[in-house]
Amino acid sequence: MAYVILNLVCVAALVGIDQAIKLWAVQYLAPVEAITVIPHVVELRFVLNQGMAFSLLSGKQLFLILATSAALLLVAYLLFFRSRGKLLQQIAFILVLAGGIGNLIDRVLNGEVVDYINPLFIDFAVFNFADILVCVGVALWVLVILLEEVEDKPSKER
């Protein structure tokens, strides 16, 4: 039970941070549109995104809500029933779940996601904290899979 509670607290904390930053962006960043953080490197720019990454599937809110919900149910299952005792995998699932929930909240309540981090040194989409959580979580999940393959390889060769 403590395992489940710890995971829920971690996910809730990350979702709370995401939602607090988005609330700040709506209240303080939207009126000024952009704030330079590091000139020519990064700025905070208020953008509302009706799609997913790079505005793909823009305007397909019902599909995005249903697909995201299904994916998050799978990640929640993997977190609570398949990652016990596997810390890196557990962290990966927590990050993906929290980021997905953070953006899903926006999509369900507002029909669009608040984005605000704009890298200026490359031509890239504006994104948010939840997007970072999902990307880092997926990268960590891939690392976990690769490490498991490396661990299993010597035993398979015997």
Q: Which residues are catalytic?
A: 115, 131
Let me know how many helices (H) and strands (E) the chain has, helices first: 5, 3
Helix, strand, coil: what percent of the chain each, to 5? 70, 15, 20
Count of CB atoms within 10 A of residue 3's CB? 13
Which DSSP category does 158 fall into?
-
Task: Report the distance separating Cα 153 and Cα 130, nearest Å.
Answer: 35
